[in-house]
Structure 1
Amino acid sequence: MGLQEEIDSMRQEIRADRYSMSIGEWISLYESEEIDIHPEFQRFFRWTDTQKTNFIESILLGIPIPPIFVSQREDGVWDVVDGLQRLSTIYQFIGKLKDENNQLIPPLVLEGTKYLPNLNNKIWEDPDDSENENCLTQAQRLLIKRAKIDVNILLKESDKVAKYELFQRLNNGGSLATPQEVRNCILVMYNREMFHWMKGLSQNQSFQECIALGDRLIHEQYDLELLLRFLVFRNIEQNVMKGIKNDLGQFLTEKMVEMAENSEFNYEEEEKAFKQTFSILYEQMGSDSFRRYSATKDKFMGGFLVSAYEVIALGVGYHCEQLSSSNFNIRDKVKEIWSRPEYKEWSGGGTNAQRRLPKLVPFGRQMFQP
């Protein structure tokens, strides 16, 4: 198939529409629950009150607002693909925004700006403020509600991968800090139940003790990425890993979506394997589980190493049922791994995921064979 044929084929898979809507209409959609801004996303977005104020200022000054991207679900509800920060700022300012527990979030109080210093301490409205000293006037509120924001709609007839492809392209490197935060949002859109299940599982104490991540990596949801790697690679067939190519992140996203869409995904079995694996590692290794071992000093040193995780967590995970009922010495085997030339070769600097994982995963399964 030539380039033009590829273009024509993919264009046929995407159905989209675009038109302009007033902010009042955006508010009505939210009030009638015809739009889903996914309150779970709030934890991944970083707008400060200053940024929110600047956005409200832009509306008041008539500065054009970038379009909102949504995806239309089978039930007709719109999923917000890009524009959460803009919409949630509007909904919070008018006192309508709810969190993931369906509780109202305190309304936004504006700050003074360079061009509109009198915005300081302004709120949307206050029935007890007859003089409008602390809130916008009726005319100012109508100015905001009549302002227009365009919407780009990815229609439900579009190819199923188009939504998450669009989400990644719009959000990677932008308003979201890390690829895993993008994945978390995609997972919420595909399977909210699985997201909450994974979030709960990632808080497992043995798992957290074994990975021993710093605050920054926890804040960036790296523990959820490590959990996803465990779910994806624990039982993966070696030939499937060839699909990693040069982009592990894209591979993880694709496999996550496959899991999310799989109605036969066995939550109970996967949770049992995960908990068995990290119970075993915690009992024998604790926070040394994925740190470098120095044979000369006979001690584990440094911080978390992902290549060690790929060998040890996935190797133990592959055999967790047998290992949980045996006297297998995990600690001695881990020390041995650090002296093995295979591990040194396949985990060295400059070794990318495409080359590393197809070697390390089978190596880990071999090393922890009971």
Structure 2
Amino acid sequence: MSNVSLEEEISTAVGEVRTDSFDMTFGEIANLHVNKELVIQPEYQRLFRWSTQQKSHLIESILLELPVPQIFVIENPDGVLELIDGLQRVSTILQFMEPESIGLEQLVLDGCSLIPGLNNITFSGLPLSLRLRLKRSPIRVVVIKKQSKGFLRYEMFKRLNTGGSNLEPQEIRNCSARMVGEAGINFYNFLVRLSGSEDFSACAEYLSQPDKEKKAAEELVLRFFAVKNYINEFKGSVRDWLDNYMEGILLEVLPFDYEKEEVSFIQTLALVRSKLGDTAFLRYRGDMPVGSLPPAYFEAIAMAFNSEFDNVKDKAPDVLRRAVSELIQGDEFRNVTGPGANSREKMRARISLTAQAIVAA
């Protein structure tokens, strides 16, 4: 690629995103939120995880006029602003100044180390001068204008939140999908709906609680379709692979027949559960299923039943359970699911081994 064409490509991309930036006071932000002119979507609201001490330190920093990082919002078609980065900061301010607007209990400051006198204080308990100082304190707001392309809005959200410790990979995918527009919202809703389907959700109950909080159930649904349709592109990083697959669907670069794929998922999970029970994807110790749900076991068993549906649908459940139990306790299966198993060859191998076992049962 020549320097001229590279410069043109960058110039074109730069021209596809429209931004504006200005200072806004925290009082103005609170008023915008109360008037529904600044919204925090429920998908983001659930990610508000700061401790009381972290929240208190932010209020203390603002009152001490210490710098506070900028926030990012996108401008929706109706002109309403939607917060996409700065959730912790904005939610803390709202919980302190207008807690009812976000459905949280009044924030009582605790853990302030620079000004201990702030501890056990609420917003109404501050002197008027400090309440006004807080309301009038500015923060830089970067607005991604509604003329910007959906893909760039998506990329901006993902890049702002990747690399931090607050959001997990599937949480970032879920939230950033909204940035694309209707296509993203549709696919996000699709993942949520299937993660709540009867047979899958019964099996997914065996995810650990921390994994459930990280949206691991929705990630397993996404993983099902990625293994089924995108396995040739797997190169060792599950996160990048799932990101690329979901982006391909959102941007309509990859085909995705919602109706056909939903039927495939529902039928496969119904068959798996009917033959192996709710503990279908767990490890075994002897005849007993143990532990939480390993994603590698899910993909191997789900894909094997999907590909061999007609060959196993009439087999007896006890025969299939015994075959799967013996398989996953064997060295050959363990060698392609343990440490270092994130390769396309080992992914194919564990699916193939499972398919062979259930067909031969």
Is TM (by shorter chain) over 0.5? Answer: yes
Number of the residue aligned with 1:213: 207
1:273-305 CA distances to partner (integer Å, 9 max, x unpaired)? 3333223222322254223457xx566565533
| Larger mean Cα displacement after TM superposition, 330-339 or 161-170 | 330-339
1:79–1:189 contact (8 Å) kept in structure 2: no
- Report the Cα distance in structure 1 between the residues aligned to 2:100 and 2:250, rounded to whole angstroms: 27
Number of the residue aligned with 2:164: 174
- The structure-2 alpha-carbon separation of the partners of 1:10 and 1:119, relative to structure 1 and needing over 3 Å to count, comes to same
2:150–2:179 contact (8 Å) kept in structure 1: no
What is the CA distance between 1:226 and its match in structure 2?
0.9
Number of the residue aligned with 2:112: 113
- Report the Cα distance in structure 1 between the residues aligned to 2:359 and 2:79, rounded to whole angstroms: 51
Residue aligned with 2:23, SS: strand
The 5 Å alignment of 1:260-271 reads 260=250, 269-271=260-262
What is the CA distance between 1:210 and its match in structure 2?
2.9
Corresponding pairs, count? 349
- The structure-2 alpha-carbon separation of the partners of 1:21 and 1:276, relative to structure 1 and needing over 3 Å to count, comes to same
- Report the Cα distance in structure 1 between the residues aligned to 2:334 and 2:107, rounded to whole angstroms: 54
The 5 Å alignment of 1:196-207 reads 196-204=189-197, 206-207=199-200
- The structure-2 alpha-carbon separation of the partners of 1:345 and 1:116, relative to structure 1 and needing over 3 Å to count, comes to closer
What is the CA distance between 1:72 and its match in structure 2?
3.0
Residue aligned with 2:220, SS: helix
1:314-363 CA distances to partner (integer Å, 9 max, x unpaired)? 2323565x479634664355357549998566545423244444555577
Scaled by the length of structure 1, what TM-score is found?
A: 0.77
1:284–1:330 contact (8 Å) kept in structure 2: yes
Percent of aligned positions with the same letter in both sequences? 32
- Report the Cα distance in structure 1 between the residues aligned to 2:262 and 2:130, rounded to whole angstroms: 53
Number of the residue aligned with 1:29: 32
Query: Are residues 1:151 and 2:145 paired?
Result: no
Number of the residue aligned with 1:128: none
Residue aligned with 1:304, SS: coil
1:220-249 CA distances to partner (integer Å, 9 max, x unpaired)? 222221122123333x1xxx4333334331
Residue aligned with 2:150, SS: coil
The letter for the 1-side match of 2:117 is: N
- Report the Cα distance in structure 1 between the residues aligned to 2:60 and 2:107, rounded to whole angstroms: 13
Number of the residue aligned with 1:228: 222
- Report the Cα distance in structure 1 between the residues aligned to 2:75 and 2:308, rounded to whole angstroms: 43
The 5 Å alignment of 1:37-52 reads 37-52=40-55
Number of the residue aligned with 2:295: 306
1:41-94 CA distances to partner (integer Å, 9 max, x unpaired)? 222231012211111111111011101122333333333221011111112222
- The structure-2 alpha-carbon separation of the partners of 1:365 and 1:4, relative to structure 1 and needing over 3 Å to count, comes to farther
The letter for the 1-side match of 2:136 is: R
Query: Are residues 1:164 and 2:150 paired?
Result: no
Query: Are residues 1:73 and 2:76 paired?
Result: yes
1:111–1:119 contact (8 Å) kept in structure 2: yes
- The structure-2 alpha-carbon separation of the partners of 1:303 and 1:183, relative to structure 1 and needing over 3 Å to count, comes to same
The letter for the 1-side match of 2:266 is: K
Residue aligned with 2:120, SS: coil
- What is the root-mean-square deviation of aligned Cα atoms in Å? 3.6
1:22-57 CA distances to partner (integer Å, 9 max, x unpaired)? 223322332333333223222223101221111111
What stretches of structure 1 of length at least 5 have no aligned partner? 126-134
Number of the residue aligned with 1:243: 233
What is the CA distance between 1:367 and its match in structure 2?
6.7
Residue aligned with 2:83, SS: strand
The letter for the 2-side match of 1:290 is: F
Query: Are residues 1:290 and 2:281 paired?
Result: yes
- Report the Cα distance in structure 1 between the residues aligned to 2:289 and 2:343, rounded to whole angstroms: 24
- The structure-2 alpha-carbon separation of the partners of 1:362 and 1:189, relative to structure 1 and needing over 3 Å to count, comes to farther
Number of the residue aligned with 2:304: 315
What is the CA distance between 1:309 and its match in structure 2?
1.7
- Report the Cα distance in structure 2 between the residues aligned to 1:141 and 1:105, rounded to whole angstroms: 20
- Report the Cα distance in structure 1 between the residues aligned to 2:32 and 2:312, rounded to whole angstroms: 52
- Report the Cα distance in structure 2 between the residues aligned to 1:339 and 1:13, rounded to whole angstroms: 52
- Report the Cα distance in structure 2 between the residues aligned to 1:88 and 1:323, rounded to whole angstroms: 53
